[in-house]
Structure 1
């Protein structure tokens, strides 16, 4: 019998076709989509990330893991019945600062969307001004930033400075997460919230936007 542990292993082994097939099998069997996402796909990604941190994996493994997750996530999203959950009238601008790395950002986007938020995903390789400009143009309620390598940390600081200079810092709560970040760094930078995992983004957004 197929299990979520099997899916986790396939994601960890970066096998997109097999992982997608396993995802469909689990969903067809009636397993909870959120559990499939969190315990299967996200846990498998975390395994790859842990190996990379321990220098037992290379950047290419992270890329392959992202491809594997990308093969599974749309299947999970489609398994949520139309209209399921409460739609929240709040807009979140989400993107990756500088880097083209998008695994974590895409998972956060998925979870926020499932959680009812309207997500404006501006993609990768963004500058501080890109976040500010999009937030202003769409009337965002919150900005979420993925920071995955050291140079982007300084750019995150520049984003907060820019928001202050434009007199809109109080208008936009800003949350951050990513491989090189920590609670200590985020607090010192002046972020309104930090997430260690993709699923933390939903909880942070709900808290900062006072959603019960």
Structure 2
């Protein structure tokens, strides 16, 4: 992802501030779109499928920045800017996942650094999502019985214990386990446990064993 691929939204109802921020961000090599209110931004966001972050004023005429943050539900990183912020507001914003919280007048260097950090978060999120999609794709290749075997194996059960739980023989479990390892593209139990944990299967085995 290059800067020219990245889209920065600016939402601020102060015309002069909005224009100044847009010029600065554009000069830094980013694509930028600026809006004077939250609703106009939300309408535009529905059409966007590109790496993006949001530079957001806390005080807006139609929907305040914290309310907009809640509505967005972390779909993109947010850098808050405000001339009216206080400690409690900052804490609330950061707890809800804001990348940064900058006071007006915004320092150019601080803003560009915050934008860079926001896109680093975008890249990390995309990488995690891609990895999870790949793992789920491999899981889909397992048969129902192989999924049962995997769920038990990742709890640390021995082949003999898995066989007893599933009402079969150890030799059959060994064969299932080998196919699970091959389909999940791992070479050790430790790797299998890690990929299971990433897609939330770590507890599934525990629940199955306890029944």
TM-score range, shorter chain: 0.3 to 0.5
Higher relative contact order, structure no. (Cα contacts within 8 Å, ≥ 6 residues apart)? 1
> TM-score when scaled to structure 1?
0.46
Tell me which structure has the larger Cα radius of gyration: 2
> TM-score when scaled to structure 2?
0.46
